[in-house]
């Protein structure tokens, strides 16, 4: 089944074995409610790591049945993050979620060389799946939040992460656009050169499971009319499933434009660790939180 709308992830997960989410330092209503709703939708099973008394008090205040969760008592913020990672490494969870723990401590627990979730040589990145009312299918994009100025090895990793996410969404042969300022290769623009090299690597079979083209300007990648006018005839032009952005500025602006000016919805995960990780914030909508949890569950092994 190819998923073409974000809420179709819910149905796909209801018909598959349940993955277990571990929430790190889930001492807040924001985290508990998100996990609670995901459980009610039949998407996951849930473990909350945090102060048991606080968790029970929040559940009581908001009429949430605490028995839905496995609660692991750890009242210290940093220790709770490490405990959540430990549970994952022990096989007691398939995906991780940030609770009230600060982002830097959450990432520190993931990146810890001895007790974290990173294999040697792995690249941590951010993948977003967007549903935009002005586009005919989902867009899978990266990196918009973690890698400021990815170099070639990181761009290759991002490309592969987007392809794997597309496969998890049922897209058998995703079309990947490597974004730059123009579709013309320019030696003066590093993103243009990198895109040309990655595209050729895909042609030679060094990147598998997708059609990859670049450099492509954004309009060429997603607008068939622009592609036709500029005589771009590749299968990716005007019909991209995945967008690899050259740097965090361009990716992040596109990410925020999707919701703030285009009324789009999205789910996002951190990838590259042994399990997908949800990095939600209080500013995220309820739908975004649920879509992010669903995306993590769908991509988890």
- Domains of the chain plus CATH, in order, are 8-121+273-299 (3.40.50.10950), 125-260 (3.40.718.10)
Question: How many Cβ atoms are within 10 Å of 30's Cβ, its own excluded?
Answer: 17
Per-residue confidence in pLDDT tens, the chain, 301 aa:
899 999 999 999 988 899 999 999 999 998 999 999 999 999 999 999 999 999 999 999 999 999 999 999 999 999 999 999 999 999 999 999 999 999 999 999 999 999 999 999 999 999 999 999 999 999 999 999 999 999 999 999 999 999 999 999 999 999 999 999 999 999 999 999 999 999 999 999 999 999 999 999 999 999 999 999 999 989 999 999 999 999 999 999 999 999 899 999 999 999 999 999 998 776 677 788 899 999 999 999 7
The answer to pTM > 0.85 is yes
Cα distance between residue 297 and residue 285, in whole Å: 19
**Complete DSSP assignment for 33-71:** HHHHHHHHTTSEEEEEEE-HHHHHHHHHHTT--GGGEEE
Helix H or strand E segment including 274: none
């Amino acid at each position: 089944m190819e998923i073409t709308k974000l809420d179709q992830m819910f149905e796909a997960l209801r018909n598959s074995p349940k993955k277990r989410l571990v929430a790190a330092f889930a001492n807040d209503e924001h985290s508990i409610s998100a996990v609670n709703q995901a459980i009610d939708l039949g998407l996951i099973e849930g473990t909350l790591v945090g102060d048991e008394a606080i968790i029970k008090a929040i559940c009581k205040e908001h009429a949430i049945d605490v028995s839905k969760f496995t609660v692991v008592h750890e009242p210290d913020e940093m220790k709770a993050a490490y405990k959540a990672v430990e549970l994952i490494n022990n096989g007691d969870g398939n995906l991780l979620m940030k609770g009230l723990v600060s982002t830097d401590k959450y990432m520190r627990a993931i990146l810890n060389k001895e007790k974290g979730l990173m294999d040697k040589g792995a690249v941590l990145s951010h993948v977003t799946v967007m549903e935009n009312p002005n586009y005919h299918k989902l867009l899978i994009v990266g990196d918009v939040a973690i890698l400021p100025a990815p170099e070639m090895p990181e761009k290759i990793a991002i490309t592969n992460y987007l392809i794997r996410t597309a496969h998890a969404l049922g897209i058998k042969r995703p079309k990947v656009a490597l974004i730059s300022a123009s579709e013309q290769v320019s030696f003066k623009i590093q993103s243009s050169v990198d895109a040309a090299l990655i595209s050729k690597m895909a042609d030679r079979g060094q990147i598998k499971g997708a059609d990859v083209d670049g450099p492509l300007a954004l309009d060429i990648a997603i607008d068939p009319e622009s592609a036709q006018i500029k005589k771009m005839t590749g299968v990716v032009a005007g019909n991209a499933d995945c967008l690899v952005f050259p740097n965090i500025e361009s990716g992040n602006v596109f990410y925020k434009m999707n919701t703030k000016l285009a009324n789009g919805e999205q789910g996002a995960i951190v990838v590259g660790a042994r399990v997908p990780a949800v990095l939600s914030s209080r500013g995220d909508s309820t739908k975004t939180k649920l879509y992010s949890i669903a995306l993590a569950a769908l991509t988890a092994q």
